[in-house]
Amino acid sequence: MRIIVPLLALVAACTGSSTTAPPPQELPVDHPDVVIITLDTTRADRLGFYGDPLARTPHLDALAEQSVVFREATTPVPLTLPAHTSLFSGWYPARHGLRDNGGFSVDAKVPLLAERLKAEGYETGAFVAAYVLDSAWGLDRGFDRYFDDFHPEDVRRASRFGAVERPAREGVREALAWWEDPARGEAPRLMWVHLFDAHTPYEPPADWKGDPYRGEIFEMDRALRPLLQSLPEDALVVIAGDHGENLWDGGELEHGIVLTRSTTRVPLLIRPPGGVEGKDAPTPRTLPERPGDWTPVDGLSVEGLDLAVVPDAPVAARVVQTPVSLVDVVPTVLDLLDLTSDTTFDGRSLAPVLAGEELADKPVYSETVAPWTHYGWSPQHVARDGSRLALRDAGDAVYDPIADPWWQTPLDEPVPDPLAAMLKAESVGWEHPGGSIDPATAKALDVLGYATAKVEAPTEDRPSARTRIDRMNRLLLAQGRMASDPEGALAEFEALTKSDPDLVDAWFSLGTMRWGKGDGEGAVAALKQVVERAPDHPLAWNNLIVVFRETGRADEALQTARDLAASHPKDTRWHRHIVDLLGRREAPLEVIAASEAGIEQVGEDPFLLYMLGLARLQTGDPPGAIEALERSKAAGTEAPDVSLWIGQAHSKLGHIDEAVAAWKAQSNRTPNDPRALVAAALLLVEHERCPEALPLLMTATQRGVRDQRIKAAFEACGG
């Protein structure tokens, strides 16, 4: 085996701490492009180059033939947002502060790779496939182009955080357009492409036959083909999974609650500039059969999943056996680019191993605090090296991760000192995900009658998710019956909240069911239980505002929305609620101020622009109304009457043709609403343009409009 590009011989010895990187204008034109592709929810053992005989991933497999593949790569968190934050910062969750999805954003003090490369003259583009990575959560810092155009109405209708996504082919198409833009100059590029297909629901392409989860991965591989073919040979390419999927390992279908090898082990492939020659196929490992109690749950199982154990048999130009982590990616990229950093990373550079050197065994770390934040169970923390794995759950246990990959038989030995030290250092500060409760969220809790001191750290005797996973599956089954068997689902939620009062998600579903039955006070009571236990639960806060609004508690709704907008200014929902509530108060000047403030924070939101346009029209500013309403249309508004108000504004300015054109467009869009048609006809008659008005008057009559003004207009035009 040899590395093709001579530059790497020098890079491999770089410590990343010797000299300051050159300013952007001095950057060599041949500085390599950097491409990072993240495969969401992708198990390493479902890829061909990791040994899966049922996988169909030919394009990724071909890339592995030029790359170094890491056999035991680990994610710090089996959840999308915190895992990506670790990948792009080089920090474990205890340092960057994100421990869960939803409601949290990356602190501006957390260093991100895109910012570093942008400062060195790189052009930067990111293309994300799920709302859980929306720019509202802060990973957009440093990117010139951040493609996250999720429609706000899709976000509003989502039943759970992260449910809004786009297929791989769409994200890759946008990425390719940016990558191949002929207007771009000679600057090197950083491109991040995120693919979400492998996440539930498993919906493989129509031409796929077999395991639906593998079908989703097949579709990601197929979508990547044109992108991988467009990459120059001297690009630095990183392929990484953010986390895996349990597929009933540990009793969990998805991920985030039970730590297992299947969710913490991720694919990691690095192709240095020019690639790597050779072929490495280390001795395959035949894993033992999965434990007998890891079986699908009736009513939750997915038809066609193949759960047979897959051989651990990676093949690549080189396969590294030593455990590594996603926090190693940033220091590796900077080292390969010969760039220094003032940041102290939790990870380490893997550049030397890309040059053929051996990698020292160093502990890596994984965690999930979601069992505590969602269910009141003990969080889980794992530290491992090449020979031992320590799991801190309701207690501590040590395993041999190679001989016992399912972590079933604890060893009769203490936690090794390096692993104990890592657990002590990293399993801290997680009681309130995202750090301590910010003042604005604390204020919102106070509005609800709670002191923030009620949100307490868990006691030592919290049960393990590994022994309570059946409760979660009961909850999921009940959630699946909310439409088909509402009474049965409601009874199950009531029972679960009584037997397990810290089941946050059960309280949330109970609030939803009570509101659906018209029990506003019961809904508020249940949702308060959610935010008492999980102060940063965005869907619960959203629903509370709605219930407050609809039950005559508009002042509480408005104050809560304002507090949340102050706490999470990039989250569009809170700005929308503020503007909506002010609009209901018929306070156009306040609507204008709140809309403009929201747009400044979140950009061209169609609802905020629509409300801004209406308020400007109300306050006698037709030009401003037209400008805002046209921007709302460009942003994809779903307001059915936007052209009606554009026509009204043009009419006030005396723009007859523009007003009539807008009203005709409105009439075509909403033929059952006669307002625009009547307005256009009457305006034309008023200006003595009867030949144009008569067809509109006839159409209005044919549509059943019975308006004396129409009759008078007919007569005025000789009809």
The structural domains of the chain, with segments of one domain joined by +, span 7-16+37-290+313-359, 439-651, 652-719
- Give 673 or 126, the one with higher predicted confidence: 126
CA dihedral 336, 341, 344, 350 (to 10 degrees): 0
Dmax over CA atoms of the chain, in Å, equals 101
Residue type, 458: P
CATH architecture of 652-719: Alpha Horseshoe (1.25)
The region of weakest confidence among 28-37, 260-269, 573-582 is 28-37
Q: Which secondary-structure segment (H or E) carries 95?
A: helix 93-96
Q: Give the model confidence (pLDDT) of 294-306 as tens digits.
A: 999 999 989 999 9
CATH fourth-level superfamily of 7-16+37-290+313-359: Alkaline Phosphatase, subunit A (3.40.720.10)
To the nearest 10 degrees (0 to 180), the angle between helices 554-567 and 538-550 is 160
The reported pLDDT for the residue numbered 244 is: 97
Token code pair at residue 64: 């592995």
Q: Is the pLDDT of residue 420 over 50?
A: yes
- What is the mean pLDDT of the segment spanning 685-713? 83
Beta strand ranges found along 545-621 (DSSP E): none
Exposed (0-12), middle (13-18) or buried (19+): which is 123, by Cβ within 10 Å? buried
The reported pLDDT for the residue numbered 411 is: 98
Instruction: Compute the distance between CA of residue 398 and CA of residue 628 in angstroms, rounded to an integer.
Output: 61
Helix (H, G, I), strand (E, B) or coil at 125: strand
Instruction: Compute the distance between CA of residue 24 and CA of residue 30 in angstroms, rounded to an integer.
Output: 13
Best CATH choice for the domain 439-651 from the list 1.25.40.10, 1.10.3720.10, 3.10.620.30, 3.30.413.10: 1.25.40.10
Q: Is the pLDDT of residue 12 over 90?
A: no
The region of weakest confidence among 55-69, 83-97, 109-123, 676-690 is 676-690
User: Do the beta carbons of residue 197 and residue 130 sit within 8 Å?
Assistant: no
Strand order across the beta sheet in which 123-127 lies: 145-147, 123-127, 189-195, 34-39, 236-241, 268-271, 68-70, 318-320
What rounded mean pLDDT belongs to the chain? 87
Q: Is the pLDDT of residue 328 over 90?
A: yes
The reported pLDDT for the residue numbered 165 is: 60
CA dihedral 164, 170, 172, 176 (to 10 degrees): -130
pTM for this prediction? 0.82
Q: Please tell me if the domain spanning 439-651 has the same topology as the one spanning 652-719.
A: yes
Instruction: Compute the distance between CA of residue 130 and CA of residue 199 in angstroms, rounded to an integer.
Output: 10
Instruction: Compute the distance between CA of residue 178 and CA of residue 172 in angstroms, rounded to an integer.
Output: 10
Q: Is the pLDDT of residue 713 over 50?
A: yes
- What is the mean pLDDT of the segment spanning 122-128? 95
